[in-house]
Structure 1
Amino acid sequence: MKKRHRIAAAALLACLACLACAGAASAQSGVTLYGVADASVEFVNHAGTVPTAANGFNPGPANQVVRLNSGGLSGSRWGLRGVEDLGQGLKVNFVLESGFNLDTGTLQQSGRLFGRQAFVGLQSATLGQLSLGRQYTSLFDSMANFVPAYFATQYEPVVMLTGANFREDNTIKYSGTFGALTAVAHWSFGTGLALPQVVAGGAAIGGNGENPGQFRRDSAYGAALTYGAGPLAAALGYDQFNPSIGSGSGSFRKAAAALSYSFGPARLIGGYRWGQNQGATGAVIGRDDYYWVGGIYQVTPALSLTLEYAYDNLKNLYGNSALANPWQLNLIAGYSLSKRTDLYFTAAYARNAGLALDSASIGFANSLSLGNSYAPASGQSSMLGMAVGIRHKF
């Protein structure tokens, strides 16, 4: 009888120990809800429609536009971020992030539920993280903190710098931080990006990828390094996208380098990006050199000013080597009402392209993604935009 009592007591102690362990594990795990709600009222001049084969590649007459937009400084989003501590320096984490239009309540990123990010990963305290899902490219990660406007949604030429494939489906990604150095590398089995034909003699670009017997089609890969120690920081990145073009696939390559230097309340930033696009036969269908420079100045703890100049030396677009080079000047003034809420004014002037340097050279990807055309109207070579807005982070 006593033996049975001892066995029962031991079993009870074992159960309590298991519950204690489970409680400790759950205390080190959790899920966080987060997001951004950002809306602005915008004025744009000289706006046309995106040229496609359906309208004869004619953007139509110039119009002035006053509209309510979602996402002036940050894309409106909500997300779930979770982590589980497995012990011994290992963690499992995930991110599900949904982009939405605050002005209409509709989904962004072509209607994806979690179009901004959707991945699960295993992280080591010493070796870095391996993650799988829809993720940002290595080039995007490395350059995000090396443009003055920090890839602000409304007028930032992010697609010109990184390519329209800066988010990719079906991606395996590694990232690790070792002291002042961070390394990132990724591979996508199929980016999920598709852009229509926007210029006569051009081509529709991209697709879903992951086609049987066509491993290369719509695949992509890249790698990057960033370094930061004291006031000086630097970044290097490379990206290659192999989009569907007709019955074959092309090769879109980009390599970028950037520097920044901080002193007092100011930070100066500049960079260069080399780009070359080849069609399915290997012929060069795009070649450019992109430069940017600017700075951020914290006038007061609440008020910040950002100025950014971007210039693209467009050497070749579908055989045309005589195109005018696009450039843009962008200004942002932000005023913090609290740690989570700010008001802002942003303005940009673009020459030889639409705002955010949207043009045929990037397949009008900004206009197609945002749903607000920045395509210059027929006969127009410049565009001015201004917006005032409010952003709340939660």
Structure 2
Amino acid sequence: MQKKIIALAVAGLASTAAFAQSNVTIYGSLDYGYGYRTDARKAAGANRGVADSSSRIDGGQSAGNRLGFKGTEDLGNGLKAVFLMEQGFNGDTGATPGNSNTAGASTNLGAATGFTRQAYVGLTGNFGTLIGGRLYTPHWSFVSSIDPFGAGTVGQFVNVYGGDVNALLQPVRVDNAVAYVSPNFGGFTLTGAYSNNAIGNENTADNSQNNTVYALLGQYANGPINVGLNYHLIQAASDGAAATVEATKSVQNITLGGTFDAKVVKIHALYSNNVVDQTAANADIKIDNYMVGLSAPIGKVTVKGSYMLSDGNYAAGGNAQQYAVGADYALSKRTNLYTAYSMIDNDSEVKNGVRITRGASVSDASNSGFTGTTAYQSGFQVGVRHQF
């Protein structure tokens, strides 16, 4: 049960061993495979409207490659110290990417080395769990657990979740953060988090130049049911001359989702409302996201599929739809083969050239998102992942 409590704080603790004694564990994930994409992105010239294509070997397609260290120390009387340090790397080049605080966006804080995925320390006991450092947001941990594709491959929900209009609609990690996870009350847990460093490039001269994050997740997981409600708010710096949240006042995300495991098939569903309160010179951005999906185990094979709709309810917005199918084949408990195919259909009537498809590079750093912001995109992937 304690393992489940810790896992709710940050996704990286999902595989943490039970805290029975002092220990240090080295762990990691290696993912490598082939991907093909076609993208109708040529907007000018003689080949206008002709689809571009990309065929390449990539690492980190189904999940970002990583190497980590995690451990606990028994302090007595039910109190334990916990820590985790996790570094990502590109499997095809061996290079270490810069910090990524948002889906599809990187912030390079000096050298691009170090434990940029996660780095935290804290205490856990009968009171719950309290940790501090560089953390996954409760939003990302929760929504990733609802996605049938686990926020990986070309089928991941984030491809059309919020989009290019504001990368911070999909917050992944935050620096200078603290998070608290309550004890488990009959399957219900409450997670709260705070950070005064939302996008990783704040000036530390004074607090007026900090972009702050407030997050609260209530989740019920018991038997076949796993449901939750998450609130995530990014408040822009009060100093208008400082680095702000993409020239906005605030970014608000409310997400309701869950899964129901009927054994022969698991049902996935999610709804989120995103509001970007911009400055007086810009209209507010409002986006509603809907996802339904399923996953079904058949022996060593798990088949899965999802449908995602992102509805931009503002003057320059449009709609984006994604259809995705895939399968995993378990070679062992630690090694699996995977394949996925998805198709994105963007609104052809988008005003002002703004589309809400997420623009992300095809690399470990972006965890296999699509490139460009065009009317039609499709992608196929096949690969192998080993965890240790």
Please confirm whether the aligned pair reaches a TM-score higher than 0.5, indicating the same fold: yes
> 1:149 offset after TM fit, Å?
1.5
Q: Does structure 1 conserve the Cα–Cα contact (< 8 Å) formed by 2:169 and 2:274?
A: no
For 1:237, the equivalent position in structure 2 comes to 230
> 1:121 offset after TM fit, Å?
0.7
**What is the root-mean-square deviation in Å for CA atoms of aligned residues?**
2.9
Tell me, in whole angstroms, the C-alpha distance in 2 between the residues paired with 1:365 and 1:252: 20
Letter in 2 for 1:187: Y
Q: Deviations over 1:56-87 (max 9, x none)?
A: xxx99742100111112211111000110101
Tell me, in whole angstroms, the C-alpha distance in 1 between the residues paired with 2:50 and 2:174: 35
1:75-224, aligned counterparts within 5 Å?
75-110=64-99, 111-124=112-125, 126-158=126-158, 160=161, 163-178=169-184, 179-193=186-200, 208-209=201-202, 211-215=204-208, 217-224=210-217
Go from structure 1 to structure 2 and tell me whether the alpha carbon gap of 1:134 and 1:232 turns closer, same or farther (over 3 Å shift). same
1:290-301, aligned counterparts within 5 Å?
290-300=289-299
Q: Deviations over 1:66-110 (max 9, x none)?
A: 011111221111100011010111111111011111011011244
For 2:311, the equivalent position in structure 1 comes to 313
Long gaps (5+) in structure 1: 1-26, 52-58, 194-207, 354-358
> 1:143 offset after TM fit, Å?
2.4
> 1:164 offset after TM fit, Å?
3.8
> 1:46 offset after TM fit, Å?
1.5
Higher-Rg structure is: 1
Residue 34 (str. 1) matches residue 33 (str. 2): no
Letter in 1 for 2:116: G
> 1:43 offset after TM fit, Å?
0.4
Aligned counterpart in structure 2 of residue 227 of structure 1, from 220, 226, 230: 220
Go from structure 1 to structure 2 and tell me whether the alpha carbon gap of 1:149 and 1:177 turns closer, same or farther (over 3 Å shift). farther
Go from structure 1 to structure 2 and tell me whether the alpha carbon gap of 1:363 and 1:352 turns closer, same or farther (over 3 Å shift). closer
Q: Does structure 2 conserve the Cα–Cα contact (< 8 Å) formed by 1:163 and 1:362?
A: no
Residue 389 (str. 1) matches residue 383 (str. 2): yes
Go from structure 1 to structure 2 and tell me whether the alpha carbon gap of 1:282 and 1:185 turns closer, same or farther (over 3 Å shift). farther
Tell me, in whole angstroms, the C-alpha distance in 2 between the residues paired with 1:341 and 1:62: 35
Tell me, in whole angstroms, the C-alpha distance in 1 between the residues paired with 2:129 and 2:336: 33
Tell me, in whole angstroms, the C-alpha distance in 1 between the residues paired with 2:49 and 2:172: 29
For 2:270, the equivalent position in structure 1 comes to 271
Go from structure 1 to structure 2 and tell me whether the alpha carbon gap of 1:372 and 1:297 turns closer, same or farther (over 3 Å shift). closer
For 1:344, the equivalent position in structure 2 comes to 338
Letter in 1 for 2:235: N
Go from structure 1 to structure 2 and tell me whether the alpha carbon gap of 1:222 and 1:366 turns closer, same or farther (over 3 Å shift). farther
Partner of 1:142: helix, strand, or coil? helix
Letter in 2 for 1:212: A
Go from structure 1 to structure 2 and tell me whether the alpha carbon gap of 1:129 and 1:215 turns closer, same or farther (over 3 Å shift). farther
160-169 or 179-188, which deviates more: 160-169
> 1:370 offset after TM fit, Å?
2.3
Long gaps (5+) in structure 2: 1-19, 100-111, 163-167, 348-353
Q: Does structure 2 conserve the Cα–Cα contact (< 8 Å) formed by 1:190 and 1:210?
A: no
Letter in 2 for 1:163: L
Tell me, in whole angstroms, the C-alpha distance in 1 between the residues paired with 2:331 and 2:205: 54
Letter in 2 for 1:113: G
Q: Does structure 2 conserve the Cα–Cα contact (< 8 Å) formed by 1:131 and 1:174?
A: yes
Tell me, in whole angstroms, the C-alpha distance in 1 between the residues paired with 2:376 and 2:221: 37
Tell me, in whole angstroms, the C-alpha distance in 2 between the residues paired with 1:31 and 1:310: 40
Go from structure 1 to structure 2 and tell me whether the alpha carbon gap of 1:68 and 1:277 turns closer, same or farther (over 3 Å shift). same
> 1:175 offset after TM fit, Å?
1.2
Q: Does structure 2 conserve the Cα–Cα contact (< 8 Å) formed by 1:134 and 1:169?
A: yes
Q: Deviations over 1:178-199 (max 9, x none)?
A: 2301211111110234xxxxxx
> 1:251 offset after TM fit, Å?
0.3
Q: Does structure 2 conserve the Cα–Cα contact (< 8 Å) formed by 1:75 and 1:153?
A: no
Give the TM-score normalised by the residue count of structure 1.
0.77
Tell me, in whole angstroms, the C-alpha distance in 1 between the residues paired with 2:115 and 2:88: 7
Give the TM-score normalised by the residue count of structure 2.
0.78
For 1:55, the equivalent position in structure 2 comes to none
Q: Deviations over 1:156-177 (max 9, x none)?
A: 1337268342211110111123
Tell me, in whole angstroms, the C-alpha distance in 2 between the residues paired with 1:169 and 1:118: 9
Letter in 2 for 1:309: Y
Q: Does structure 2 conserve the Cα–Cα contact (< 8 Å) formed by 1:261 and 1:267?
A: yes
Tell me, in whole angstroms, the C-alpha distance in 2 between the residues paired with 1:344 and 1:372: 14
Across the two proteins, how many residue pairs are aligned to each other?
334
Partner of 1:326: helix, strand, or coil? strand
Tell me, in whole angstroms, the C-alpha distance in 2 between the residues paired with 1:372 and 1:268: 24
Letter in 1 for 2:29: V
40-49 or 30-39, which deviates more: 40-49
Tell me, in whole angstroms, the C-alpha distance in 2 between the residues paired with 1:365 and 1:214: 31
Go from structure 1 to structure 2 and tell me whether the alpha carbon gap of 1:261 and 1:373 turns closer, same or farther (over 3 Å shift). closer
For 1:19, the equivalent position in structure 2 comes to none
Q: Does structure 1 conserve the Cα–Cα contact (< 8 Å) formed by 2:182 and 2:189?
A: yes
Go from structure 1 to structure 2 and tell me whether the alpha carbon gap of 1:150 and 1:71 turns closer, same or farther (over 3 Å shift). same
Q: Deviations over 1:105-139 (max 9, x none)?
A: 01124424211111001111x21111110001121
Go from structure 1 to structure 2 and tell me whether the alpha carbon gap of 1:224 and 1:210 turns closer, same or farther (over 3 Å shift). farther
Partner of 1:139: helix, strand, or coil? helix
